[in-house]
Amino acid sequence: MGSEQSVDNTTVSRDTTEIDGTEYRMYHTDSGHYPSVSTVLDARTTPEKDKSIQGWKNWLKGQPDRPDPSDVLDYKSWRGTLAHWAALNPLATRNLAGDEEAAAYDGLNGWQYRHDDALKQARSDIEWVEQTFQSHAEKWSVAAFEQGRVTENNTHAVERYVTDDTVGFGGQFDFAYEHPSRGTVMADIKTSKADTIDGLFDKKFPDYGMQLAAYARAWERDVDECQLWWLAPDTREAHVLVEDAWPQSRADYEQQFVDAAQSLHQTLLKNHNG
């Protein structure tokens, strides 16, 4: 599956490319072909994270009447895709539904997950994300809504492709908006589960920080602040986490990402040269 956007009169396309037997999500422009931000992050060696994930899978498999770990990941991924669409589509100047949204809908529709239709099960969570996003969007001056319809829209971009020709990567951030006192803000929505904010920081950083720092680096606008919008339907928790509250600075996360991207490029070059 692939898709493309016209960005500043340049066509940027995205697809999944197989290189030496490994699949990579790639962004393509006239200037080059670049791995996605998520591909860079996934390529890192993270023993503690890998151990934690494997421990969760082993625990889940040992519980009675529990779904397979791969089913849990599929369900949450598809639900997250549709929740993003429901939250952001009203702000966009185009319909954001594409191949990924269609695949998520098809994956959930009629699938017996935890003994019930997965799409029906996910609907209440998706609606909660949509309504909670709109409530926070009004508080943070992203937009104003009336009966779910946008009456004021302060976004600069929604689900925007960006590429960095210097380091060599591409990505898509969720949205950016103009705040009356904070300036230009770039934000990403996350629907992952965490029991506490500290738990979110422990389990999801530095990945989340590196991701947003990379997007901010690649965008042509100067970004005054990055924000993580945590909307977790499993626990009905919602917080807007400004970068000053993150465990490390945006500059630190950006450097960590650049190092990871350069490492991946060296690996790809080595594999290509055989």
Domains of the chain: 3-273 (3.90.320)
pLDDT digits (tens, 9 = 90+) for 60-79: 455 555 667 788 889 999 99
198 sits in which H/E element? helix 197-204
| Closest among 151, 148, 157, 165 to 188, alpha carbons compared | 157
| Closest among 72, 59, 80, 65 to 129, alpha carbons compared | 80
**Positive or negative, the Cα torsion across 233, 237, 243, 249?**
negative
Beta bridge partners, 109, equal: none
pLDDT digits (tens, 9 = 90+) for 21-49: 778 889 999 888 999 999 999 988 664 55
Using only C-alpha atoms, what is the Rg of the chain?
19
Q: For residues 257 and 265, what is the distance between their CA atoms, to the nearest angstrom?
A: 12
* pTM value > 0.85: yes
Tell me the pLDDT of the chain averaged across its residues: 88
Q: For residues 172 and 260, what is the distance between their CA atoms, to the nearest angstrom?
A: 18
Look at residue 245 and tell me whether its pLDDT is greater than 90: yes
- Residue 246 amino acid letter: W
Q: What is the mean pLDDT of residues 237-259?
A: 96
Task: Please give the DSSP secondary-structure letter assigned to residue 36.
Answer: B
Beta bridge partners, 149, equal: 146
pLDDT score, position 187: 98
